[in-house]
Amino acid sequence: MSQTHALPVRRPDDALISCVIPAYNEAAHLADFLRDLRAMLESFAVHYEIIVVNDGSADRTEEVMAGLRHEPGLRYLSLSRNFGKEAALSAGIDKARGDAVILMDGDYQHPLALLPQMVDLWKNGIDMVYGVISDRSGESRLKRWGTDMFYHLMESGAPITIPRNAGDFRLMDRKVVHALRQLPERNRFMKGLYAWVGFSSIAVPFVPAERATGVSSFSYRGLSRLALAGVTAFTTLPLRIWSAIGVAISIIALLYAFWIAIDTLLFGADVAGWATLAAGLMFFSGIQLISIGVLGEYLGRVYDEVKKRPLYVVARDIDNGPANGKAGD
Q: Alpha carbon of 255 to those of 5, 239, 248, 258, 274: distances in Å?
A: 54, 25, 11, 5, 19
Among 42, 49, 99, 107, binds ligand UDP (CB under 6 A): 107
Please report whether residue 109 would count as binding ligand UDP according to CB under 6 A: yes
Distance CA 131, CA 309 (A): 31
Among 98, 106, 131, 230, binds ligand UDP (CB under 6 A): 106
Distance CA 193, CA 183 (A): 8
The span of 18-26, 124-132, 155-163, 295-303 binding ligand UDP (CB under 6 A) equals 18-26
Shortest spacing between CB 59 and ligand UDP, in angstroms = 11
The span of 15-23, 89-97, 99-107, 315-323 binding Mg ion (CB under 5 A) equals 99-107
Please report whether residue 92 would count as binding ligand UDP according to CB under 6 A: no
Please report whether residue 99 would count as binding Mg ion according to CB under 5 A: no
Instruction: State which residue, 23 or 202, has the beta carbon closest to ligand UDP.
Output: 23
* Cβ proximity of 273 and 193 under 8 Å: no
Answer with the entry of Mg ion, ligand UDP, none that 131 interacts with (C-beta below 5 to 8 A by kind).
none
Instruction: State which residue, 37 or 153, has the beta carbon closest to Mg ion.
Output: 37
The span of 78-86, 150-158, 241-249, 281-289 binding ligand UDP (CB under 6 A) equals 78-86
- DSSP conformation class of 3: B
What backbone phi and psi angles, to 5 degrees, belong to 74? -90, 135
Among 49, 99, 105, 173, binds ligand UDP (CB under 6 A): 105
* Cβ proximity of 157 and 236 under 8 Å: yes
**3-class SS at 324?**
strand
Shortest spacing between CB 276 and Mg ion, in angstroms = 53
Please report whether residue 84 would count as binding ligand UDP according to CB under 6 A: yes
Torsion angle of C-alpha atoms 52, 206, 325, 317, degrees rounded to 10: -10
The span of 80-88, 137-145, 182-190, 281-289 binding ligand UDP (CB under 6 A) equals 80-88
Please report whether residue 220 would count as binding ligand UDP according to CB under 6 A: no
Please report whether residue 38 would count as binding ligand UDP according to CB under 6 A: no
* Cβ proximity of 86 and 312 under 8 Å: no
Partnered with residue 103 across adjacent β-strands are 20, 170
Q: Find the binding residues for ligand UDP in span 39-58 (CB under 6 A).
A: 55
Instruction: State which residue, 28 or 327, has the beta carbon closest to ligand UDP.
Output: 28
Please report whether residue 23 would count as binding ligand UDP according to CB under 6 A: yes
Q: Alpha carbon of 245 to those of 203, 280, 288: distances in Å?
A: 38, 15, 11
Distance CA 30, CA 62 (A): 11
Instruction: State which residue, 108 or 312, has the beta carbon closest to Mg ion.
Output: 108
Distance of CA 70 to the CA centre of its chain: 32
Which residues in this chain contact Mg ion in the complex, by CB under 5 A?
105, 107, 109
